């Protein structure tokens, strides 16, 4: 089952959702800003994407600029920070049974379909 972590207020996320909707009709839509994000969700994304956690952090967010910029955190600390501040997560992220990708540009979704 395909899952998309989506923020409806984000243009890139809306573009990713539109692309996924054209390609696949059966997927789970997760508004992680509203519904929250668990540590297990983050661990699954990191494991399946093979990306360092820092590459999934939105450095343009105020909370990053004011509280996190220039500081060093290990993976577990980043996971906790992101789950407590879900808008820090890059989006959209699309997860399949075996793979996860940051769908920027949206065409990267093809890699998990």
- Residues acting as catalytic residues: 10
Q: Are 13 and 91 in contact (CB under 8 A)?
A: yes
Sign of torsion, CA 53 2 13 34? negative
Contacts of 29 (CB under 8 A, 6+ apart): 4, 6, 17
Q: Are 16 and 106 in contact (CB under 8 A)?
A: yes
Asked whether the beta carbons of 71 and 78 are under 8 A apart, the reply is: no
Coil vs helix vs strand at 27: strand
């Amino acid at each position: 089952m395909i899952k998309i972590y989506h923020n409806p207020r984000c243009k890139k996320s809306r573009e990713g959702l539109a692309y996924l909707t054209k390609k696949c009709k059966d997927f789970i839509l997760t508004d992680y800003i509203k519904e929250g994000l668990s540590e297990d969700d983050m661990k699954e994304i990191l494991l399946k994407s093979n990306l360092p956690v820092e590459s999934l952090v939105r450095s343009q967010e105020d909370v990053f600029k004011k509280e996190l910029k220039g500081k060093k955190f290990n993976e577990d600390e980043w996971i906790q920070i992101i789950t407590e501040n879900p808008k820090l997560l890059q989006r959209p992220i699309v997860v399949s049974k075996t793979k996860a990708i940051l769908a920027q540009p949206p065409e990267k979704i093809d890699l998990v379909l």
